[in-house]
A and B are shown apart, each in its own frame.
Chain A
Amino acid sequence: MAYALVLGAVLAVLVVLFVARPFLREPAPADDRLDEPGALEKRRLVLVEERDRALDALKELEFDHRTGKVSDDDYREQLGPLRRRAAETLRALEPRAEGRQERVSSSR
């Protein structure tokens, strides 16, 4: 039984050390806050997702047209709005450096 206690105690100590590791590595950190994306970073993420969706939709439209699922008329009709949306999201993403800057500063 004594061996069991020793083994259990060793296991417990190892576990406690592993769980306490973040506190042992940084006993007195300058900043202990979880980084949180700021408003600009959140906006960037929304725009990036919208951009990816718009580009993906263009690719899908192109592919569906080439495989015959979209007629020539439908293709022409849908292409314009999709291109415009993709261009809008790309334009909106241009000043993204500010968003990055904000994220970096908030994580420090």
Chain B
Amino acid sequence: MPFEVRAGEDEVQHLVAALGRVALLLSFGLVVYALVGGSFAAYRRRRRLALSAQNALIAAFGTTLVAAAVLLIALARHDFSFVYVAQHTSRSLPLGYTLSAFWGGQEGSLLLWLVVLSGYAALAVWLNRRSRELIAWVVPVLGGVATFFAFMLCFVSSPFDKAPAPADGAGMVASLQNPYMLAHPPLLYLGYVGLTIPFAFGMGALLSRRTDERWIVATRRWTLAAWTFLGVGQLIGAHWAYVEIGWGGYYAWDPVENAALMPWLVATAFLHSVMIQEKRGMLKVWNMVLVALAFNLSILGTFLTRSGVVNSIHSFSQSSIGGWFLGFIVICVVFSVGLIYIRLPLLRARTKLESLVSREATFLYNNLLLVALALTILWGVMFPLLTQAVRGETRSVSKPYYDFFLHSFGLPLLLLMGIGPLVAWRRASLRALGKTFVIPAVAAVVTGVALIAVGLGTSTPGLLAYTFSAFVFASIVLEFVRGTRATGSLTRLVSRNRRRYGGYVVHASILLLAIGIAGSSAYQTIREKGLKPGQSMQVAGYTLTYRSLFNTQQSNSQTTSAIVDVYRGGSHISTLHPGKSFFPVEGDFGNDVAIYHDPRNLGDVFTIADEFDKNGTLFLKVLVKPLVNLVWAAGFLFVFGSLVAMWPDAVEQRRLAERYEPGTAAARV
């Protein structure tokens, strides 16, 4: 009987794996059909074929979901006959991490890309199904991108490869066994992939010669959603680095971190510049360039994350798919640049910038700074690859390079965030500017003088960041106060222009982020000391006393932790347990940092058990990081502001529906 049960299990395993492969092959066939059939239908104006191609894209979501379900079932069942499951999980791994292995490896990540892309594509096509002449060209573009990922999954890097099952799997890299890893990669992918939708609509508009604002109207919420996911994903990734990597920081200009930052910066520029096209009919070429750049950078980001071509803390994902990605990036760049160039005559603006002192001009300056920052980061990321290719030796740029450009571009950007809302559209006179600038300027000067007076003028970037932040904060508050006065109520003010006031809330979150980053980097204190039980060390007004060690055992790891009492002004305020964990299956060590969140300065006392020696000495590293919790608080405000900006506006939707589909009652935007 046991043999029969075993045989039955084997059959189920084969069945499941074969179903996964069949589902992926069907997805591949469907997206190829959407690409080829959709292109033919759009070019020859065939209605039924165009609808059929749309259906293929929607069906591809269903078949890809089946493939994803197969992989999830295999992971949950610890089916080590799947090479992917055996390589990325083990029996002792808790269920949450076991399922998160879906995106822990290359094949699963590619499958996640395809699931999200086909899901987004199906929804975007369905929502815009009445804009037939535009959607007819959007379908083949989406099909083309999906074809690449489906091809990779079917023929290059399949998650359904089988082999004789080992007794246990290889486990998961220790640093990935962290709750933040349950959310960080999927959110980043929701962001990366989300940028495909505005790209497809932008290219679809060019292909169909419909260069009116329809494509922008159809995609502005998609862009905002993708941008929000990318932003939150990065912040969660930063928090993962903060609590998991054990160096006390949250952003290290790591190439893979930069890979997510670049498309986010370009998408930020696009979200601003698209408003100028909507309000003034300008920057049509620039918006196409931005939407193409953001998409291509998102593919580059996936390439950098998955190929392992650059040294990174994410180097657990080394693989050999780099060449395929590089080829695809080249195709995408040539296609988008060529198409924009061919359609340049259709993208000419009829209006011109009236004044260099106007709201649209400040948006333009902000765009230039954002893109310049993204491109300098791109140069930093690509520099090691280029030096390797050209000179045969890998040379890389480090933190000072990035910090220089962050200060050079980031600080003016921060200031522009405060200036923009104070300036009128079209043109602003000096007298009006003088009136609106008084309060923010006074707030900035008072803040700067106060900081110098209390001895916090030691860091010039920190001082500038806080002074500018005061200016921005005052300008945001003024905008709400003056707007409320003008409309009679805050609710009416926000509901009449959710995008603008949601945007201001997002600006406030960026402000919190800037204050948090400046406080925790420019004014942090770091000390490291070897302590025997009973000994203490002083750090920035805190006293830390090491008491003893203790061991704990979890299903997937063994941990040795120290007991460290934290005192401030003689009063005991917390007991921390910094430690180190050993993961026996993986043969890997992980840091267990311990943090005391101090509500008085919104900062952290961050402790790392760097080393324990045989004599019982603990080498304790302590970082006091004032205001660092504002960085994480910024995330909540960022999401809130984005939701306000994204929230549907019934009046606006009716107006747009009447514009594009006269006679209809409801909008489909």
Residues of chain A at the chain B interface (Cβ within 8 Å): 1, 3-5, 7-8, 11-12, 15, 18-23, 26, 29, 31-37, 45-46, 48-50, 52-53, 56-57, 60-61, 63-64, 66-71, 73-74, 78, 96, 100
Q: Tell me the smallest distance from the CB of A42 to a CB of chain B, in Å.
A: 8
Q: Who on chain A is nearest to B57 by CB?
A: A19
In the complex, chain B residues whose CB is within 8 Å of the CB of A20 = 52
Q: A23–B52 contact, CB under 8 A?
A: yes
B344 within 8 A of A: no
Q: Which of B11-19, B391-399, B524-532, B583-591 contacts A (4 or more CB under 8 A)?
A: B11-19
In the complex, chain B residues whose CB is within 8 Å of the CB of A46 = 212
How far, in whole Å, are A100 and B661 apart by their CA atoms in the complex? 10
B352 within 8 A of A: no
How far, in whole Å, are A12 and B270 apart by their CA atoms in the complex? 40
Residues of chain B at the chain A interface (Cβ within 8 Å): 11, 14-15, 18-19, 22-23, 26, 30, 33, 41-42, 45-52, 55-56, 58-59, 62-63, 66, 132-133, 136, 212-213, 278-281, 422-429, 431-432, 435-436, 479, 482-483, 485-486, 655, 659-660, 662-663
In the complex, chain B residues whose CB is within 8 Å of the CB of A66 = 486
Q: B63–A11 contact, CB under 8 A?
A: yes
Q: A18–B436 contact, CB under 8 A?
A: no
How many cross-chain pairs have Cβ atoms below 8 Å apart between A and B? 144
Q: A45–B48 contact, CB under 8 A?
A: no
Q: A78–B426 contact, CB under 8 A?
A: yes
**Looking at the complex, which one of A1, A26, A49 makes contact with B659 (CB distance below 8 Å)?**
A49
In the complex, chain A residues whose CB is within 8 Å of the CB of B427 = 74, 78
In the complex, chain B residues whose CB is within 8 Å of the CB of A57 = 279, 425-426
How far, in whole Å, are A34 and B422 apart by their CA atoms in the complex? 47
How far, in whole Å, are A5 and B479 apart by their CA atoms in the complex? 64
Q: Who on chain B is nearest to A66 by CB?
A: B486
Q: A67–B482 contact, CB under 8 A?
A: yes
Q: Tell me the smallest distance from the CB of B669 to a CB of chain A, in Å.
A: 14
How far, in whole Å, are A13 and B320 apart by their CA atoms in the complex? 35
24 intermolecular pairs with C-beta atoms under 8 Å apart: A1-B11, A4-B15, A4-B18, A4-B22, A7-B19, A8-B22, A11-B22, A11-B26, A12-B22, A19-B33, A19-B55, A23-B48, A34-B45, A34-B50, A36-B45, A48-B659, A53-B281, A61-B424, A61-B425, A66-B486, A67-B479, A67-B485, A68-B435, A100-B663
Q: Who on chain A is nearest to B434 by CB?
A: A71
In the complex, chain B residues whose CB is within 8 Å of the CB of A36 = 45, 133
Q: Is the interface of A mostly helix, strand, loop or mixed?
A: helix
**Looking at the complex, which one of B55, B436, B655 makes contact with A52 (CB distance below 8 Å)?**
B655
With A67-B482, A69-B432 known as contacts, the answer to whether A45 contacts B279 (CB < 8 A) is: no
In the complex, chain B residues whose CB is within 8 Å of the CB of A7 = 15, 19, 22
Q: B26–A22 contact, CB under 8 A?
A: no
In the complex, chain B residues whose CB is within 8 Å of the CB of A21 = 51-52, 55
Q: Tell me the smallest distance from the CB of B156 to a CB of chain A, in Å.
A: 21
Q: A4–B59 contact, CB under 8 A?
A: no
**Interface-central residue, B33, B42, B51, by most chain A CB under 10 Å:** B51
In the complex, chain B residues whose CB is within 8 Å of the CB of A49 = 212-213, 281, 659
**Looking at the complex, which one of B132, B212, B426, B655 makes contact with A34 (CB distance below 8 Å)?**
B132
In the complex, chain B residues whose CB is within 8 Å of the CB of A3 = 11, 15
Q: Tell me the smallest distance from the CB of B290 to a CB of chain A, in Å.
A: 20
Q: A60–B41 contact, CB under 8 A?
A: no
Sorted from nearest, which 9 A-B pairs have the closest CB atoms?
Answer: A8-B22, A4-B18, A22-B51, A67-B482, A66-B486, A69-B424, A22-B48, A64-B424, A34-B45
How far, in whole Å, are A74 and B425 apart by their CA atoms in the complex? 11
Q: B19–A8 contact, CB under 8 A?
A: yes
How far, in whole Å, are A22 and B290 apart by their CA atoms in the complex? 36
How far, in whole Å, are A34 and B22 apart by their CA atoms in the complex? 33
Q: Who on chain B is nearest to A99 by CB?
A: B662
How far, in whole Å, are A60 and B47 apart by their CA atoms in the complex? 42
Q: Who on chain B is nearest to A73 by CB?
A: B429
With A7-B19, A32-B48 known as contacts, the answer to whether A69 contacts B423 (CB < 8 A) is: yes
Q: Who on chain A is nearest to B136 by CB?
A: A34
Q: Who on chain B is nearest to A45 by CB?
A: B212
Q: Tell me the smallest distance from the CB of A22 to a CB of chain B, in Å.
A: 4
Q: B48–A71 contact, CB under 8 A?
A: no
How far, in whole Å, are A3 and B16 apart by their CA atoms in the complex? 10
How far, in whole Å, are A2 and B281 apart by their CA atoms in the complex? 60
Q: Tell me the smallest distance from the CB of B503 to a CB of chain A, in Å.
A: 15
Q: A19–B59 contact, CB under 8 A?
A: yes
Q: Tell me the smallest distance from the CB of B7 to a CB of chain A, in Å.
A: 13
Q: A64–B22 contact, CB under 8 A?
A: no
In the complex, chain A residues whose CB is within 8 Å of the CB of B659 = 45, 48-49, 52
Q: B425–A64 contact, CB under 8 A?
A: yes
In the complex, chain B residues whose CB is within 8 Å of the CB of A53 = 278-281
Q: Tell me the smallest distance from the CB of B441 to a CB of chain A, in Å.
A: 15
In the complex, chain A residues whose CB is within 8 Å of the CB of B33 = 19
Q: B47–A34 contact, CB under 8 A?
A: yes
Q: B425–A19 contact, CB under 8 A?
A: no
Q: Who on chain B is nearest to A71 by CB?
A: B432
Q: B14–A1 contact, CB under 8 A?
A: yes
How far, in whole Å, are A20 and B59 apart by their CA atoms in the complex? 11
Q: A32–B432 contact, CB under 8 A?
A: no
Q: Tell me the smallest distance from the CB of A87 to a CB of chain B, in Å.
A: 18
